[in-house]
Structure 1
Amino acid sequence: MKKFIMGLVVGAVLMMTGQLYAASPLLGKKVESSVSVILNGKSIGSGIVVDSKTYLPVRTISDAMGMKTTYKSGVVTVTGEENAQQAAEQQAEVEANTNQFNTLNAAYFELLTKVDSLQTLVKGYEEKLIPEWEAKVSNQPKNPVNTATLDRYKTQLQQKRDELTDAQTKLQAAKTAVEAYVKDHPEYEKFIAKLPQ
């Protein structure tokens, strides 16, 4: 008799567990990751990813949208309309922030390209042109054309070095400006995580 009752209890527990899992498709599922959720350019909290779908508390998103959330008898109700003026202001702010970030970022990458180009030019002068013309002057010391050409290339090299130093200084300032902007606007952080040095 005890075995029968024990079997009945175990069966009932298993049956209830099956119903519980059937009632909610998320129960027993593995949370794959946690993600930041950004609404209109502003972080509103974190959600979880289960089966490649992101889940976020209803209250978190409805509050962020200026809506009212109530819970009664197992039902969540979201009511109200988003304030159109507030939404327009938020959108304008997001667009202004995005434009500012894009401007700073574009200036940074333009300077990065310029620095790379100048470094290549300086290297070409230092490793090829100058040694080549120094050898010509050494082999023909009385040829004024060789000496003049070498002097011209040395002057150009110094100009390119000066330009490179100036561009590197501006590049560092541009990088600092982007990083400072992102510090105040963390929603753009993912875009600068790998800024070249």
Structure 2
Amino acid sequence: MKKFISGFVVGALLFGGVSAFAASSLIGQKVQGLFTIEKGGTKVAEAVIINGSAYAPVRAVAEATGASLTVEGKKIIMSSENEKVPTAASNTKTLAELQAERNKIAEQVEKKTAIVSEFKKTQVDNWDVLISENPNSTTIPQWENTKKESEKMLEQLKTELATLQQQLNDLDAQIAALKH
């Protein structure tokens, strides 16, 4: 059903571009029927039938199929949820610029990986050793609090590393798309 609705939307978009030029020929035409568009038993929109062609609100049908719409000038651009709509800014970068940006982020990933590893060894792990080697120390509660703060900082560093890695993956995808 989803493929049918998606196909219907794409067909409507393609035909819509042609019908815009032929709009004057639709004036005065008889509506032959009114169809309900449903998804999973829920009404999404209504389509009118004129001269054997269905006309439905593109946004309502696209949203029902999980697609998003953007309008650029006189173009309506549909994309699925997991597909990003290319913007004018993203299209202006050359392959060389994307590769240079990728190299910078790859360096940052490498540095951040080393920082995370070193921080874990010198901060978190050291507090574990200190606490385990001095079980009778009166400062263990303070050491444990400091260890917890160090663990929070480590998690923040790991989050930053994951963000950089995601940026690297996104750039790899953009580069692959440009190469094809």
TM-score (normalised: structure 1): 0.39
Structure number with bigger Rg: 1
Which structure is higher in helix share? 1
